[in-house]
Amino acid sequence: MSLSIGIVGLPNVGKSTIFNALTRAQNAESANYPFCTIEPNKAVTPVPDARLIKLSELVKPQKIVHATVDFVDIAGLVKGASQGEGLGNKFLANIRETQAILHVVRCFENDDVIHVSGTVDPLRDIETIETELILADMQTLENRVDRLEKQVKGDKTLKPLIDAGRALLAHLEKGEPAASFPGRDDERARELMREVRLLTDKPFIYCANVDDAGLTEDNEHVNAVRTLAESRGAQFVKVAAKVEEELIGLSDAEAKEFLESYGAAESGLGQIIRTGYHALGLISYFTAGEKEVRAWTVTRGAKAPQAAGVIHTDFERGFIRAEVIAYDDYVKHGSEAACRTAGVLRTEGKEYVVRDGDVVHFLFNV
C-alpha cells in the first residue's frame, strides 16, 4: 500500500507550486491567476527515509526502493463550486479515492499575488472550501440514498442502510463534516461511508503556505490556522512553497544546508509525509538483501502475515514465520549475519505485530 494525498484549496493559494515542490517535478503549471490548474495533476513521489539510505550503505544492494506517496492536485475551488461556479467540483472525484486531504491555505500578505477574494483571511478561506466539500458530499450521499430507495421495494433489508444515510445527510445539512457524525459507529453507517467515500470523512492536514519570513516566525494567519487544526484534532504543517521550489535539483547535503539557512530542519515534503503517516496510523518496515533494500508501508498494528501480504498475497497465504531485526540492532551490528551471531535476529510467528523500522525476512510456502 502507499499513502495517497489529495490537495485542495482556493485558486491561487500556492497549491500547484507546492505540488511542484513536493513531487520535485515541474509538471503542474503555476501562475499568478486563478484556475491555472485545469486537469488534475497526479504524481508519485518517494518517501524520504534516512533509515533506508543507512541500510543500503550497509547492505550495498543492486537497487534501493522507497515507499511512495501519491499526490493529486485539482483545480482550485471557489464559493459556489457545487453550483458550477469557477470550474465547479467536477474534479473532486479525483481525490475521493485518496486517503487524506492536504488543505493548502494562504498565510502571507503580498499585493503582487492575487487572492480570489481580494484579501487574505485563512479562516474564511477554510470555511469556503469545507462548505463546498460538504455540499459535494451531500450530492454524493443523496444520489446513493435515492438509488437505495428505489431498490428497497424489492429488498426490505436495505431500509436500515437508508435510515443511516438519511441521518448522515441531516448531519451534513447542518454544515457539519461526516467525520463528526455521531452515528458513525453504527454498522450500517460505517458500511455506507466506506462505500461512498465521503470527502469530509477523510483525515485533514491543514497546510499554511507562508513566505520566507513566515518560516522563522509565525504570523497571525499561521496562528489562526494552527489553533483551528488543534481544536479539531487535525494535523497542521507550515510550508513556504517558494522555498520548497528552491530545493528542486539540490543534493541532499545542499538541501539540508539551504533549509538550515531558514532555520528549518525538515523539508515541506518530509513534514507532510510524516504528518500523513501519523494521521493514518501508517508505519514502514524494510526488507534488505543483495538485490534490493526496500521500504514497505503498513498500518500500525498489522501482524506479520498482513505485512507479508503487502509484498505479495502468496506471502500472506503461505506465511510460515518471519525473521525480524530491529533497525537499531541492524545498524549496530552491520549485517544480517552479525545480527544472527549476536542473537538479535528474532523468529516471530503469525501473532507478531510489526514495528516501525523492523527489518524483516518472511518465510512462506504455497
Residue 60 marked ligand-binding: no
Residue 30 marked ligand-binding: no
- Strand-pair category, 63-65 with 292-299: parallel
Strands lying side by side in the sheet with 63-65 = 63-65, 292-299, 282-288, 359-364, 319-325, 346-348
273-295 core/surface letters (b: 16 or more CB in 10 A; e: else): bbbbbebbebbbbbbbeeeebbb
How far apart are the C-alpha atoms of 5 and 206, rounded to whole Å?
A: 12
**Could you tell me the three cell numbers for 217?**
516566525
How far apart are the C-alpha atoms of 125 and 127, rounded to whole Å?
A: 5
How far apart are the C-alpha atoms of 355 and 315, rounded to whole Å?
A: 18
Instruction: Give just the sign of the alpha carbon dihedral 83, 88, 94, 95.
Output: negative
Residue 310 marked ligand-binding: no
Q: How far is CA 5 from CA 71, 102, 136, 194, in A?
A: 5, 6, 18, 17
Cα atoms in the Cβ-side hemisphere of radius 13 Å centred on 32: 5
Q: Which amino acid is at 39?
A: E
Three-state SS for 257-268 is: HHHHHCCCCCCH
Residue 12 marked ligand-binding: yes
SS3 283: strand
Q: Which residue, among 273, 259, 248, 262, has the nearest Cα to 214 in the 3D structure?
A: 262
| Binding site listing | 12-17
| Binding site listing for ATP | 12-17
